[in-house]
A and B are shown apart, each in its own frame.
Chain A
Amino acid sequence: MYRYQPGKVDWKGAGMPWDGHDRESSLLADVAEPLPTCAPTDRADAIRAPIACAVVDANGVVLGLIRASRLAEEKGKTAVELMEPAPPSYRPDAACENAADWMTRKSAPFVLITDPDGHLLGMVTREALSRRFMRRG
Chain B
Amino acid sequence: MQLIDRNRLAALIEAGAVVLDVLPAPAYRKSHIRGARSFPLKDFSSSSLAPLGRATPIAVYCNDFT
Contact = CB atoms under 8 A, between A and B. Distances in A.
Nearest to B4: A2
Interface residues of A, number: 22
B60 A8 contact: no
A7 B60 CA distance: 9
B58 A16 contact: no
Contact of A3 (B2, B6, B32): B2
A7 B63 contact: yes
Interface string A1-44: 11111111111101011111111000000000000000000000
Interface in A78-137: 93
B6 A10 contact: yes
A18 B32 contact: yes
Contacts of A17: 33-34
Nearest to A22: B31
Contacts of B12: 2
A2 B30 CA distance: 23
Contact of A5 (B17, B57, B65): B65
Interface of A: 1-12, 14, 16-23, 93
Interface of B: 1-6, 8-10, 12, 17, 19, 21, 23, 28-34, 57-65
